[in-house]
Amino acid sequence: VFQEAPETNNEHWLTDWPVNACRKHKLGKTPMLCSGSVMGSREGIIDYIDVMEEEFKYWIQKENCRIDNRGDDQSIHNYLYYTGRFKNAVSIPHRHGPIHVVGYQAARIFENATKEAKDAGVDISQIYSRDKSWKEWLPRKYGLINTKTGLIVNEDGTPSAQVHQVDRFGPLISAWDNKMREQDWPYNKEGMVYMKS
Task: Give residues with Cβ within 8 angstroms of 154, minimum separation 6.
Answer: 95, 96, 97, 100, 160
End-to-end CA distance of the chain: 26
Tell how far CA 172 is from the center of its chain.
16
3 state DSSP class of 183: coil
Residue-wise pLDDT for 8-53, tens only, equals 999 998 899 999 999 999 999 999 999 999 999 999 999 999 999 9
Residue 192 has pLDDT above 60, yes or no: no
pLDDT tens track for 169-189: 998 888 788 888 888 877 776
pLDDT tens, position by position, 94-144: 999 999 999 999 999 999 999 999 999 988 877 886 656 778 889 889 999
- CA dist., res. 71 & res. 141, Å (int): 30
Burial bucket for residue 82 (CB in 10 Å: 0-12, 13-18, 19+): buried
